[in-house]
Amino acid sequence: MDRLHDVARLLISSLVLAKDTEGKRIPTSHGLLDKAIQDSLAYFPAWAKEEIHMADSRVGLRCVEVPEILGWAQAAELTSAPNPYYREMELNASPYVAGVLLKRLGVSVNEGRELGQALLRSIEHSKQQLGEVAVAAGGTVSC
Amino acid sequence: MSAQELRSDLAREAPALWADISTIAQKCVSTIIDNLARKSSHERFPKTVNDPVWGTIELFPWEVAILDSPLVQRLRGISQLGLASYVYPGASHSRLEHILGVIETAQRMMNALERNADNHRHFGKDKDPAVPAISLLDRHSIRLGALLHDIGHGPYSHVTEMLLYKCFPEEFAKAEKVLRHHFRDVTKIAPSETIAVLLVLSEEMGRVFEHPHFEAVSEAHRLPAAIACRILGSRSNLYAGYLSGVISGPIDADKIDYMARDSYHSGFPVGLDFNRLISKLEVIIITPENAPNAELQERAQTAGGRSYEMGISLSGLGAYEQMIMGRALLYDRLYYHHKVRAAEHMLQRLIGVATEETGRRLTLSGYFALFSETEYLSVWSGFVRSPEIDSGGARSKRIGGALLTRQVYNRAACIAARFLGGLDGLPRGEREDTRQLQWDGLVTILRSDKGADDFAAEIFALARQLGGAIPELSAVATNLTLEEILVDFPINKAKLGRGNDLLTRTEAGRVVPPNLFFDAEKWSLAYEHQKLVGHVFAPLSSVPLVALASRIALFMRFGVVMGADADNAAKTTGVVSADWIRKAAEAALCSAECAEALTTEKPVLLQMRSNDLRIPADWSVDDPDIARRLAEGFRDAIPGGLPAGARKGVIDTLFDLMTFVEMIEKSGEFTARTELAEKTLQQELKKHLRSREVPVTEGSEIGGGETDLVVYDKVLIENKSRDLTTDPFESGLDYPFQARRYSIALLRRVSFVVLSYRPSTETSLLPLTARIRVSRINGVPEDHAEVRVVVPWGTGVPSKAKAPR
């Protein structure tokens, strides 16, 4: 059985701990999260890496499982739904819940935080790159 | 990469699956070859068929040759919507009708894109004469892809899809890996798609495509891989790259046809404007300058400065949003209607039971017999016999008979995060934390078929016992069978498609994803999330019994209560009486906390946090981490939390036992002993507790064990004594849950054990703060914590000496 539900718990818990405060938003459009997952693969535990595949899609790099992972995160009430902005997801879990979930997955809080920080670094970097590409094309991007 | 290389890779990585596919292909191909052999394709004329959605559909001679064969005609007996016709009687159209519709839709999409490509070559300030034309290979691989994309479906499509996968789970995964390796841009592959693609790539079908009378394209040897790529939505094997998503993509012929067709036949209108949608498809020209991201920039550069993808014009976004929203409505009202889900689950259960009764699992080939779905159902149920497929016995007949006569099971309980009850009185932060952790515990188990089936078995066992305790439920309980309780948790069945793999072009010429103002795809995910509900289904006559059993089981297993909204959703308001719950508690089938939780609206379960605990001051100084450690132990053991009414008793008992440990240590009471009986330990403990005015009762006084104490009217302490021991916390110690033999309702989720032991080594004599531990008890159905407090004796240490820190 695939463990995408567990990947969702890992991903959200890690982001929550990396951000330290609740109620923050993470972009889910423009392939930003997909790229962040690829860039941070080294920080994922082995079982999670096996669940993740990257594809060179018709619109750029995509993680095949991202829609399902986000769906599980929503179904597990760890992210908000409905999201008024839709290009982002709002992290609903508290650091307390994030710590408990990581423990259940056999991941330490420190490891989770490192993964979350790696994801956030990549997202920021990709946003910048996206902005540069957009500016070069004569526009802006908001995500 | 040649088709032969691909076949070799598949045969090597997935030999059994590949062999089965060849067997299936062999049975079908001879008819196609015969059809082709009669006349050359160019001696025949295209055929026109009528269709309720598209008006007319034109088919080329080689397509008709394949159509008129078992490979495709089998789909005449497979309904597009499975058991949805039980709710929407008109929804009985077949997959055959659908694939013909997909051919026509794909053709119209190609016409629109070809027209747009031609416009790009001749018009606009950025006209591009190099926009590729649609080659014959592109055109016919798409049409053939449309014709063949569903040949991998078994009877009742999605119900049997996972069963097909389970025939060869590892080989399916390996086959997918091979396909991803050879073809670009392949995302999620359903098992039925894998089967369809493998059939297309088989040697047998290769003979069809290369038959001299096939004559669709001159490069016939390229057809298998090209068709496979169209079915998978890959960009490989395509001259006009903008066609890659026509069969499988964000706006594809499959979706457009099934939405239009399902809406038409079911009588459920969704307002899909497919004519506008198709007419607004565009060829998006991507250059390094206008690319929205680095990957597309690089792709355009590699392709000599331009690449081409399918997109939609800005003025078509409204029609696209309509499609996305319409699909969400179709999923909610048609595909996931609770009666449809119940019927599908009954069918899944029937197949499982038939497999048990025959002792044989259906092979892959067995799912591709030339039977209609109703014939399969009749055979599985045992009403009809067939030499090709095994029939079930009496149990199968019961379920199959119910299905054939539309005695579809009813909702006995609804399960969803938004229905979690008993949390309103908590502070906001704690309420959200508790809700998420409770829900997490439940989802983790019920997300798998095994977890859901095991939980159904628990409900069944409880229902049978309830029948013994509640006279008015007795007859129903006796007649109820395990097969008749179904736990359906749709999260693990929802297929979430890849969305927003689509591009549009702004007026300024930028290429962007089409969520400029509103992300319809995310909206539809949010809608689906809100609407998805898990169910416990049971026959109508047993709904009250199963409703009661479900509620108790949900609490006892997961520590959750579904509130009044769940009853409204299931239409079970008032079905379960408080008197039944009281009788269940009296029969010890339901704990006192459970009974209270099911009959009140107060907070039922609370998390144990470190600052809730009372720790002796000295202990916190010696070990600042002790409270956190103990709280974590409770959280790990009972993720759903402790019953609110019992939590204070647990906290107080913990503190009392810590003071007992300290008192024994300081007094040296046990130091010089050469033996220590459990009764002696018990007496010392009782004396200590009474000195602190803790209400304590001997177990024997209330019909329990001689070495038990009951404190605060609900907390049980078991007293044990051991001789030489290296590790007093070793998990090999197996203490039965004595609470079960008590007639009064005790806290069942937490057991306290006070264990006196004689340390066998110096290191076995633990520091004070290490003499208490909270851990999870495994091997029991419900979450259970053990608090173990260990007290050394016979150490010979003088009474004034201090314990090691």
Do B292 and A60 count as a contact with CB atoms less than 8 A apart? yes
Q: How confident is the model at residue B403 (pLDDT cuts 50, 70, 90)?
A: very high
Of B309, B435, B448, nearest to A1 by CB-CB distance is B448
DSSP 8-class letter at B1: -
Which percentage of chain B shows pLDDT scores above 90?
60
For B536, counting Cβ atoms within 10 Å of its Cβ (0-12 exposed, 13-18 middle, 19+ buried), the class is buried
Whole-number Å distance between alpha carbons of A85 and B797: 69
Which percentage of chain B shows pLDDT scores above 70?
92
**Which of B500, B506, B512 to probe the A interface (max A CBs under 10 A)?**
B500
Whole-number Å distance between alpha carbons of B332 and B322: 15
The percent helix, strand, coil of chain A (3-state, each to 5) is 55, 10, 35
Q: How far is A8 from chain B (nearest CA, A)?
A: 11
Q: What's the rounded mean pLDDT across residues B593-603?
A: 77
Whole-number Å distance between alpha carbons of B252 and B725: 70
Nearest residue of B to residue A74 by CA position?
B529
Nearest residue of B to residue A59 by CA position?
B501
Nearest residue of B to residue A106 by CA position?
B636
Q: What's the rounded mean pLDDT across residues B189-199?
A: 95
Of B498, B511, B526, nearest to A67 by CB-CB distance is B498
Residue B292 has what pLDDT? 86
Q: What's the rounded mean pLDDT across residues B53-78?
A: 96
**Which of A57, A108, A126 to probe the B interface (max B CBs under 10 A)?**
A57
- Indicate if the pLDDT at residue B649 is higher than 90: no
Convert B152-177 to b/e letters by CB count within 10 Å (16 or more is b).
Answer: bbbbbbbbbbebbbebbeebbebbbe
Whole-number Å distance between alpha carbons of B246 and B231: 9
Beta-bridge partner residues of B411? B537
Q: How far is A117 from chain B (nearest CA, A)?
A: 23
Q: What angle do CA B765, B766, B769 make, to 5 degrees?
A: 155
Do B529 and A60 count as a contact with CB atoms less than 8 A apart? no
Q: How far is B660 from chain A (nearest CA, A)?
A: 31
Q: Sign of the CA dihedral B517, B521, B524, B528? A: negative
For B38, B206, B219, B357, B435, the CA distances from B214, given in Å and listed in that order, are: 11, 11, 11, 46, 62
- Asked if B784 contacts B747 with a C-beta cutoff of 8 angstroms, the reply is no
Q: How far is B416 from chain A (nearest CA, A)?
A: 9
Which tokens belong to B300? 């355009």
- Residue among B788, B774, B633 nearest B725 (CA): B788
Q: How far is A39 from chain B (nearest CA, A)?
A: 14
Do A75 and B186 count as a contact with CB atoms less than 8 A apart? no
Q: What's the rounded mean pLDDT across residues B337-350?
A: 94
Residue B471 has what pLDDT? 96
Which tokens belong to B153? 């479906």
Residue B363 has what pLDDT? 85
Residue B748 has what pLDDT? 65
Do B526 and A137 count as a contact with CB atoms less than 8 A apart? no
Do A29 and B515 count as a contact with CB atoms less than 8 A apart? yes
Helix, strand, or coil here: B540? Answer: helix
- Per-residue pLDDT tens digits for B231-289: 999 989 999 999 999 999 889 999 999 999 999 999 999 988 999 999 999 999 999 99
Q: What's the rounded mean pLDDT across residues B74-94?
A: 95
- Distance separating the N- and C-terminal Cα atoms of chain A: 34
Q: Where on the phi/psi map is residue B329: left (φ > 0), alpha (ψ -120 to 50), or beta? A: alpha
Do A56 and B295 count as a contact with CB atoms less than 8 A apart? yes
Of A75, A94, A137, nearest to B491 by CB-CB distance is A75
- Per-residue pLDDT tens digits for B125-154: 888 999 999 999 999 999 999 999 999 999
- Indicate if the pLDDT at residue B798 is higher than 50: no
- Per-residue pLDDT tens digits for B448-491: 889 999 999 999 999 999 999 999 999 999 999 999 999 998 76
- Asked if B251 contacts B245 with a C-beta cutoff of 8 angstroms, the reply is yes
Beta-bridge partner residues of B701? none
Prediction pTM value: 0.82
Whole-number Å distance between alpha carbons of A141 and B8: 46
Residues 6+ apart with CB under 8 A from B570: B411, B412, B413, B414, B535, B547
Residue B165 has what pLDDT? 87
Write down the mean pLDDT value for chain B. Answer: 88
Residue B740 has what pLDDT? 46
Peptide bond preceding A82: is omega within 30 degrees of 0, i.e. cis?
Answer: yes
Do B632 and A74 count as a contact with CB atoms less than 8 A apart? no
Of A53, A60, A87, nearest to B293 by CB-CB distance is A60
Q: How far is A29 from chain B (nearest CA, A)?
A: 8
Of A123-127, B38-42, B719-723, the least confident? B38-42
Nearest residue of B to residue A2 by CA position?
B448
Q: How confident is the model at residue B732 (pLDDT cuts 50, 70, 90)?
A: very low
- Asked if A39 contacts A135 with a C-beta cutoff of 8 angstroms, the reply is no
Residues of A in contact with B499 (CB under 8 A): 67
Do B296 and A75 count as a contact with CB atoms less than 8 A apart? no
- Asked if B276 contacts B497 with a C-beta cutoff of 8 angstroms, the reply is no
Q: Sign of the CA dihedral B112, B118, B121, B124? A: negative
Q: What's the rounded mean pLDDT across residues B428-457?
A: 88
Whole-number Å distance between alpha carbons of B413 and B534: 8
Q: How far is A67 from chain B (nearest CA, A)?
A: 6
Q: How confident is the model at residue B559 (pLDDT cuts 50, 70, 90)?
A: confident
Q: What's the rounded mean pLDDT across residues B581-590?
A: 92
Q: How far is A133 from chain B (nearest CA, A)?
A: 6
Do B188 and A64 count as a contact with CB atoms less than 8 A apart? yes
Q: How confident is the model at residue B801 (pLDDT cuts 50, 70, 90)?
A: very low
Nearest residue of A to residue B442 by CA position?
A76
Of B447, B503, B518, nearest to A5 by CB-CB distance is B447
For B38, counting Cβ atoms within 10 Å of its Cβ (0-12 exposed, 13-18 middle, 19+ buried), the class is exposed
DSSP string, B364-416: TGGGGSS--HHHHHHHHHTSS--SSS----HHHHHHHHHHHTT-PPEEEEEE-
Residues of B in contact with A26 (CB under 8 A): none
Q: How far is B66 from chain A (nearest CA, A)?
A: 31
Q: How confident is the model at residue A97 (pLDDT cuts 50, 70, 90)?
A: confident
Residue B44 has what pLDDT? 85
User: How many residue pairs bridge chain A and chain B with CB atoms within 8 Å of each other?
Assistant: 159
Residues 6+ apart with CB under 8 A from B733: B720, B755
Do A139 and B518 count as a contact with CB atoms less than 8 A apart? no
Residues of A in contact with B501 (CB under 8 A): 57-59, 62
- Asked if A2 contacts A52 with a C-beta cutoff of 8 angstroms, the reply is no
